[in-house]
Structure 1
Amino acid sequence: MKILQTLSRLYINDLNSALEFYEELLGSPAAMRFEIPQIGL
């Protein structure tokens, strides 16, 4: 069976370093990253 997509909810302090880790681990960039400027995300 081939896994087509992985979605995870993470509660972390340093988003950029966590994204870098998981992108390297999975061998692909985050596909659904977005900003919410109204709340500083």
Structure 2
Amino acid sequence: MLRLLEARGSTPGGLDLDLVFADGQMVLAGLPLGSAPRLIQP
């Protein structure tokens, strides 16, 4: 799986992954991670 993600990126030997926060959810490289944390200003 990691080799596939490495092949998609532009950095040889490294991973270029997008972390997306949308509609209260987190998605990393197209894989859902679950609910995004709520950030509250003090």
TM-score of Structure 1 vs Structure 2, range by shorter chain: under 0.3
Higher strand share: 2
Give the TM-score taking structure 2 as reference length: 0.23
Question: Relative CO higher for 1 or 2, CA cutoff 8 Å, sep ≥ 6?
Answer: 2
Q: Please tell me whether Structure 1 or Structure 2 has the larger radius of gyration of its CA atoms.
A: 2
Higher helix share: 1
Give the TM-score taking structure 1 as reference length: 0.23
